[in-house]
Amino acid sequence: MVNDGIKVEYYQTALKGKADSFWFDGEIAKLSTWEREVMIVASGELRIHNKDGEIVFDGKTRNCGFPEFGGSIRNDDDLSKLIDLGYVWVFNNWFEPLFRYANVKDSKWEDLLGTIADTYDEAIALGYDIIKDDIFWNKADSR
């Protein structure tokens, strides 16, 4: 898909009712122009404990899971209720952008420390913002 001269390759698509980074892992999308590339990835570990301190999720449902939801959570609405039900997020993941020059041989992916997004749409929008930001790329050139 090409939009405003930016080619977008989606590796994982948005899921109905599941926009939180919780539902994703690894490469999500790559945005590119002839000279710039931005990769959106879901990074970080996931771990949720119940109020008794037992791990109930760490990439897959463990122990008794989430009995309030029939054993497993189904969507972002369920996720938003976990803290009120006494669950503790020990680790959570996020979306982050990586960038590199498309027209430079052996260009390595670099990350933007502290630049993250929580939802799929925010992450894709962040990718568009970065790839179009000439000031950012000019600063990257001077590194």
pLDDT tens-digit profile of 31-87?
Answer: 999 999 999 999 999 999 999 999 999 988 888 889 999 888 999 999 999 989 999
Does one domain contain both 56 and 85? yes
Number of domains in the chain: 2
Does one domain contain both 39 and 102? yes
Does one domain contain both 58 and 121? no
**If you ran DSSP here, which 8-state letter would residue 7 be given?**
E
Helix (H, G, I), strand (E, B) or coil at 56: strand
Helix (H, G, I), strand (E, B) or coil at 121: helix
- Locate all alpha helices (DSSP H) within 1-143, ordered by sequence: 76-81, 120-132, 134-141
Q: Which domain holds residue 73?
A: 47-91
Does one domain contain both 72 and 110? no
Helix (H, G, I), strand (E, B) or coil at 97: strand
73 and 79 Cβ atoms separated by less than 8 Å:
yes
Does one domain contain both 14 and 74? no
Does one domain contain both 99 and 39? yes
pLDDT at 143 over 70: no
Does one domain contain both 6 and 24? yes
Does one domain contain both 17 and 56? no
> What pTM value is reported for the model?
0.88
**Residue whose C-alpha is closest to residue 55's, from 94, 88, 93, 21:** 88
Does one domain contain both 87 and 98? no
